[in-house]
Structure 1
Amino acid sequence: MENIAVIFFTFILISIISFVVKTLTTSSGSKLKGNSLDDFILKKDVTNVPLDSSTRHKYYEKFSKKRGIQIRIVFGTEYGASEDVAKTLYKKSKLIAHDYNSEDSQFHPRLVNCKNYQLLDWKNEHLMLFIISTSGDGVPPTDAREFVEFLDSTKLDLNHLHYSVLALGDSNYPQYCKTGIHVHDRLQTLGAMEFVRKHNVDMENAETIEKWMCSVLETLPTLNIDPQEDYLNLVEDQDSRSYNRNKPFQATIKKKYMLTTPSSVGDKETMHIEIDLSGSCLSWISGDALGIYPENNPPEVVEVLNAVKLDGTEIVYVEHPAFQVEEVTLQTALTKYYNLKDPSSALIKYLMTKDPANKLKLRSVHLISYLVKNKELLGEVRDVLSSCKNVSWSGQRLVDLLKPLQPRYYSISSSPLINPNIACITVASVKYQLLGKDRTGVCSVHLNDRCSVGTSLGVFISQNPDFRLPANGNTDILLIGPGTGIAPFMAFIAERVQEGAQGRTILYFGCQSKLKDFLYKDQLGQWEKDNHIALHCAFSRDNPNRKIYVQDLLAKQHSDVYQLMQKGGHVYVCGDATYMAHDVHNTLIDICVKEGLTKSGAMEFLSMLSSHGRYQKDVWV
């Protein structure tokens, strides 16, 4: 058997290497013009040139009566990825024209957030590009929910509309591009004409995004669309009076303390942090998250500066969706406004044009990372920059090739019924190794190691309407949240206690060690003592003979779990999507089978619970 396994894996490895070599030396199989891998990755046109401060586009025009071929680039985003893609497409489409000799035939793109769909006169729209993310497992982004409901209910005849959809998601979730797929299906049902086929993008894969954009930009000039005057009056952001992802509130840390007791290298370091929102008028509901803009680790900034041989004092023009800044030093820009973890496709392309050695090295790693769906093989920005030679840098060129630094999201672990001005979060420091080097998470280590009481943070509320307590306090609830997955459940329990809910609250919590990382141990113990909760804990490392997880405890209590689900109870799962949530889901299926359902019947039963809001998940990869 061992020899067979060795032969099999050797065959697989040889096949992958052969495929890589063939792909690097021949065509990509794309139907696009110039379909070699070099043409695809290094496509040379003006759209790949970053814009300097004198030629930058104003992305959001409030009102324009420009005549031309009107293009609506409609995006729906939760965390900013779709908006970034939409802005890139906007810049590219501004640089092409249907007929350079006729102003009437110039393309005139406008960026439109899905939440502003009501401002569109659908009967007069002829060309629309939809860039839509899916939040988690099949859920539309908050800003796109009403738009999706509109598409579901409208009976408009859209046979005059040309469209294409780019659907973004994460394949770690079973329904990872569901929202974009659904938008595409509804548009077809309403008679709209797809001029470039829908592309599904897994984990912001640059190749897929680029293929779709190239195809769209090449096809646009071939469409027979009459020019018209732009009517669209985009009023100021409807949330302009409040704070949001593009306008964060500067809150301060009021209190922080360690929840774990690490005693050796590798032990978990998790902190409870209280953030003062006084004066913001921000409000939330238990189950919502707090978005936080972090800062990059100073030593990582220094490594980037060393790699490009700059000292950080150069003044650069900054373009960031959330911060109204213009000119700052390069060091400040890299610290506060740009993503130093994920190299952009624009950065990779630029480096590949500068030296044959860079080209061979990067395109090989780039392709292999795509094949094995592991973009971390490229490393971080500092790794890519350090590995490439013969590149001369200016600060402006560098930041123009970087992605903006995006916020991180933390479930709020406090109820607004207790204190509407204090939002608590539970933060586990992320520390890991990549390419043989120690690495740290951007936001978690910033919060836990570098922020102190009084530190200012840019924050906003991220709504999570699919993770809510039942309206009736007499309803039994089952909470499954190992590790920091307990965070929203701390808010749930506190709220149920405050309101005097009569329904049972059953909590399954898991961690490695009762002594080291039993989060909120004292508070949970008090709630259990006061009969507010029934507490079941799995300490996976305390038993040297067998690891115990929350799903093992659920399986032991199969009759009680099944009866709760059958009698109208609600089930909530929060935490890791890749392993924990998957294993818990399979355990719930097994429980239903053990209680008399067929496997297909059990799956249908859980699906019914989910569709009725009685099986809710807040999980992440």
Structure 2
Amino acid sequence: MQFQVMNSPFSQEQVELLNRLVPTLTESQQIWLSGYFTATQNSNTTLHTATEVTTVITTDSPVAISREVTVLFGSQTGNSQGLAKALTIKLEQLGFQVTLSSMSDFKSNTLKKVKNLLIVASTHGEGTPPDNAIPFYEFLHSKRAPQLEDLQFSVLALGDSSYEFYCQTGKDFDKRLEELGGKRLSTRVDCDLDYDDSAADWIENVLANLNKKLESTGPAQGTTLTETGTVAEQSAYSRTSPFKAEVLENLNLNGRGSDRETRHLELSLEGSNFHYEPGDCVGIYPENSLSLVESLIENMGWKPEELVSVNKKGEERSLREALLNNFEITVLTKPLLEQAAKLSSNKSLEELVEPGHEVELRNYLDGRDLLDLVQDFSPWKGTVQEFVSILRKMPPRLYSIASSSKARPDEVHLTIRTVQYESHGRERYGVCSTQCAERLEPGEQLSMYIHHNPNFKLPANSDTPIIMIGPGTGVAPFRAFLEEREESSAEGKAWLFYGDQHLLTDFLYQLDFQRWVKEGVLTRMDVAFSRDTDKKVYVQHRMLEKSRELYQWLENGASVYICGDEKHMAHDVHNTLITILEQEGGKSTEEAVAYLNDMQQQKRYQRDVY
């Protein structure tokens, strides 16, 4: 329908604006506007300028139980939590009464009462739930889980398709809720690293289906929404619209003779309006190696200047530029090979992705890139556009922030270890780390954004003692923690366990930590350099040596933070904490595990692991 001045109460200018806007609105956007105008007829809304926002909507009738929605998230780095919050805002705008909760904070015995359940869950490591999802996951898969015949649910699963158990946690939730009698409100959506579009589609579908099922109940009744808080001025830059940050400094932290290279990057945030806290990360969109791109183009016989579409909007780039900046070409995934098999005339690729060849496929994916694929399974058919359309978008690389914004306004510091290794007869390089080490000079720019991680934060009370365990580049966020506590004159004690290979060449930020020990910002520091002694010594060995003191710190309310490799270090440290609780606290293994679980519930045990 076209609006006209004659058939509406609008002016000519308003009609022109409406005729441009309305045809572009999705169904859920139209529903939102309808609900918004209905609600504002009988609402009192007060907006305070500057940074404080208070909104109150009140009507008289009782809340219809069918409009209650529970949103649960399981998140390790904050992606799922951020999406769950975005979903909650949209639901509240449509008049739903929403309970938003981390899975670790959700009271499982109330699940039977939930009628509409929306789950946003990431998969951590090799198919395991993130830390704050474990209690709910275990409850749901136990004999105590209730039958849920009255439940409507939908699951948004986040993962990384380069892992074998892609989105496994979300798949498990989806399957188990169905087994317990729940009915799907919307089909589960599995999101790869470039989750923005898929997540937006899932949210839109969920909102539309909720409204279709509840439209007979009419507009929202009896809803009282109160949101009061301090809202920082928002940055115009984000994950989908990164900021071009100037490189101020790029130094190698390792000494001469080390077989490692760790870069200390200082980036200018001037003009970005970014706000961050210790524990947050920086997401960097890197550039692929030019030599790899050129080898790929040459092997396929493509023309580097041919234009290709790089997104759903139809934006075009030259093939060379697209392969450099827009697509991931250094990692192979199962979904990629399944799509590539349709474009290859080589039957062996089709056989590799067929059921029954999982072991061979897993072995092939390990340590190979797109150049290997095109060389191993030629000849290829189809257009250049068809081929690049199956490639995954270039995912950002996340790095823990190694600075405090209080100490260094308009700057952010990062600690990045260069990744280089040999595989299948070729040298391989980490995309972002090698760019930073070899092709990034002060004055140049990096595309970046701030990734907030609410699951790795200093205690609200600065008097709380903290224990930080971070070998290698895992020490980065603890440099930020200590800068922050120095600036705020925190009174709480701090204990750092740090390790690497050699004391003389690999002690990252040695002068900073020694100064903090001298000044009392860092109460104590224990280090382990594994290659300086005949018997390798790691941080968990130092923890055992100080087990009595460490246990006393725990009993006195200390918060524990672990950052670094999950598969080995974090696993070993976790088991060491259990051993200390058993030995020094006289607890059984079950009691020690329960002790750590309770710490986790209290947010006294936090991990930033990868």
Pick the aligned partner of 1:142 from 65, 73, 82. 82
Give the paired residue count.
Answer: 488
For residues 408-428 of structure 1, what are the alpha-carbon distances to aligned partners after superposition, in whole Å with 9 as ceiling and x for unaligned? 111110001112200000010
AA aligned to 1:150 is: L
The alignment partner of 2:294 has SS state of helix
For the pair 1:388 / 2:377, whether they are aligned, the reply is yes
Cα displacement (A) at 1:388: 1.3
1:479 aligned residue: 468
Cα displacement (A) at 1:295: 0.6
1:252 aligned residue: 246
Query: Following the alignment from structure 1 to structure 2, what is the Cα–Cα distance between the partners of residues 293 and 485?
Result: 21
Superposition pairs of residues 331-410 of structure 1, within 5 angstroms: 331-343=320-332, 345=334, 347-353=336-342, 354-360=344-350, 362-363=352-353, 367-369=357-359, 376-377=365-366, 379-410=368-399
1:569 aligned residue: 558
1:498 aligned residue: 487
Query: Following the alignment from structure 2 to structure 1, what is the Cα–Cα distance between the partners of residues 425 and 76?
Result: 31
Q: Is the 8 A contact 2:160 2:167 kept in 1?
A: no
Query: Following the alignment from structure 2 to structure 1, what is the Cα–Cα distance between the partners of residues 462 and 159?
Result: 41
Query: Following the alignment from structure 1 to structure 2, what is the Cα–Cα distance between the partners of residues 282 and 456?
Result: 16
Query: Following the alignment from structure 1 to structure 2, what is the Cα–Cα distance between the partners of residues 549 and 282?
Result: 37
Cα displacement (A) at 1:434: 2.5
For residues 420-441 of structure 1, what are the alpha-carbon distances to aligned partners after superposition, in whole Å with 9 as ceiling and x for unaligned? 2000000100112222321111
Residue 538 and residue 467 in structure 1: after superposition, are their counterparts in 2 closer, same or farther (change >3 A)?
same
1:516 aligned residue: 505
For the pair 1:462 / 2:416, whether they are aligned, the reply is no
- Aligned-residue Cα RMSD (Å) equals 4.5
1:541 aligned residue: 531
The alignment partner of 1:516 has SS state of helix
Query: Following the alignment from structure 2 to structure 1, what is the Cα–Cα distance between the partners of residues 146 and 590?
Result: 32
**How high is the TM-score relative to the length of structure 2?**
0.69
AA aligned to 2:537 is: I
For the pair 1:284 / 2:238, whether they are aligned, the reply is no
For the pair 1:191 / 2:150, whether they are aligned, the reply is yes
Residue 466 and residue 306 in structure 1: after superposition, are their counterparts in 2 closer, same or farther (change >3 A)?
same
The alignment partner of 2:481 has SS state of helix
Q: Is the 8 A contact 1:137 1:173 kept in 2?
A: no
Query: Following the alignment from structure 2 to structure 1, what is the Cα–Cα distance between the partners of residues 290 and 556?
Result: 54
Query: Following the alignment from structure 2 to structure 1, what is the Cα–Cα distance between the partners of residues 150 and 361?
Result: 36
Residue 346 and residue 386 in structure 1: after superposition, are their counterparts in 2 closer, same or farther (change >3 A)?
same
Pick the aligned partner of 1:551 from 513, 532, 540. 540
Query: Following the alignment from structure 2 to structure 1, what is the Cα–Cα distance between the partners of residues 357 and 122?
Result: 20
AA aligned to 1:305 is: I
2:14 aligned residue: none
Residue 194 and residue 277 in structure 1: after superposition, are their counterparts in 2 closer, same or farther (change >3 A)?
closer
Cα displacement (A) at 1:589: 0.8
Residue 602 and residue 523 in structure 1: after superposition, are their counterparts in 2 closer, same or farther (change >3 A)?
same
Runs (5+) with no aligned partner, structure 2: 1-22, 30-56, 58-62, 89-97, 175-183, 189-204, 220-231
1:54 aligned residue: none
Identical aligned residues as a percent: 29
AA aligned to 1:319 is: N
AA aligned to 1:330 is: L
The alignment partner of 1:141 has SS state of helix
**How high is the TM-score relative to the length of structure 1?**
0.68
Runs (5+) with no aligned partner, structure 1: 1-60, 68-117, 233-237
Cα displacement (A) at 1:172: 3.5
Cα displacement (A) at 1:65: 4.7
The alignment partner of 1:281 has SS state of coil
Residue 188 and residue 516 in structure 1: after superposition, are their counterparts in 2 closer, same or farther (change >3 A)?
farther
Query: Following the alignment from structure 1 to structure 2, what is the Cα–Cα distance between the partners of residues 171 and 402?
Result: 23
Pick the aligned partner of 1:64 from 26, 29, 45. 26
Q: Is the 8 A contact 1:287 1:492 kept in 2?
A: yes
Query: Following the alignment from structure 2 to structure 1, what is the Cα–Cα distance between the partners of residues 79 and 548?
Result: 31
Q: Is the 8 A contact 2:246 2:446 kept in 1?
A: yes
Residue 202 and residue 187 in structure 1: after superposition, are their counterparts in 2 closer, same or farther (change >3 A)?
farther
Q: Is the 8 A contact 2:471 2:499 kept in 1?
A: yes
Cα displacement (A) at 1:249: 1.1
